Amino acid sequence: MKRSYFFKSIITLTAIIFLLSSCKWGSKREVPKGKNIICVVDFSDSKNASERLQFYMNVIKDNIIPRLGLYDKITVMPIDKASITNSSDILLKDISTMNFEPEQASPMEEEQITKDNLKKYKDTLATSFAQIFQTAIVNRNKSNHGTDIFGALEVVKGKLKTRDVNYLIILSDMMNWTSTLNMEPSNKEFNSSTMENILEKVPNYEMPGTTALVLTAEQVEVSPEHFKLVQSFWSKYFEKNHIKLYDYNSASISKLNELMALEINE
């Protein structure tokens, strides 16, 4: 009797442990907050379009993808004449849905192996992205005679994530070029005197909590005065739409690296 009671007790205890373990393993862990990085790339035509596009590609390949974390998301999308009518993601990856943990490893090794696996994935992703980007240049060629930045912002707004920290990386000269607003140097109607009136008329896309960073690349035949005029316009536009402008410059990536390195607060 005692022996039978002992075995029944062991079986009952084992069942309880199994059920408790199953509840723990079966429960879905909440994914920690990550960075939702939306890169908007200007494919519109210009005198140095080829060099500018290669600069933009390298910024994403060398400075953004390698700094992605375990819970980050990245989208790369175009700006050109067809920002809305022919919008298509050049790259769309959600790293938070992927598993880089080893199947069998000691607790001391697990963290390092996970980091190594993530790095291998990002190295492969960077190489793949460079090839995809070159294809996108060819595919967007028919739509490159225009720059609909506001259309791109409309698409961006639909890609924001409430759970994550949203970063908007704009790789563009920021000179909108459509039938309704031409910000090119040749248009003398776009100037400091008309800026406030234009700001009242353009579409507004509010993005509270979103941090933006602009890299224009080298701009051929654009005077420093016009560069500052365009910069001033967008600084005011972002402020009006509750978008934090982290940096706006031509080619320095130090602020981008700084932004990508920021810790996420839960």
| pTM assigned to the model | 0.86
Position 101 scores a pLDDT of 87
> Please, what is the average pLDDT of the chain?
87
Contacts of 230 (CB under 8 A, 6+ apart): 173, 174, 175, 183
Place 85 in a pLDDT band, splitting at 50, 70 and 90.
low
pLDDT of residue 219: 87
Q: For residue 264, what pLDDT is reported?
A: 85
pLDDT at 266 over 70: no
Q: What is the 3-state secondary structure (H, E, C) of the chain?
A: CHHHHHHHHHHHHHHHHHHHHHHHHHCCCCCCCCEEEEEEEECCCCCCHHHHHHHHHHHHHHHHHHHCCCCCEEEEEEECCCCCCCCCCCEEEEHHHCCCCCCCCCHHHHHHHHHHHHHHHHHHHHHHHHHHHHHHHHHCHHHCCCECHHHHHHHHHCCCCCCCEEEEEEECCCCCECCCCECCCCCCCCCCCCHHHHHHHCCCCCCCCEEEEEECCCCCCCCHHHHHHHHHHHHHHHHHCCEEEEEEECCCCHHHHHHHHCCCCC
Could you state, in order of their start, the residue ranges of all structural domains in the chain? 35-261
Is 35-261 CATH 3.20.20? no
Kindly report which listed range (99-113, 169-183, 238-252) carries the lowest average pLDDT score: 99-113
The predicted-structure confidence for 210-233, as pLDDT tens digits, reads as follows 999 999 999 888 999 999 999 999
- Cβ neighbours of residue 241 closer than 8 Å, sequence gap 6 or more: 204, 205, 206, 207
pLDDT of residue 44: 87
116 pLDDT above the threshold of 80? yes
Q: Does 15 score more than 60 pLDDT?
A: no
- Cβ neighbours, 10 Å, residue 175: 25
Position 32 scores a pLDDT of 87
Does pLDDT of 12 surpass 60? Answer: no
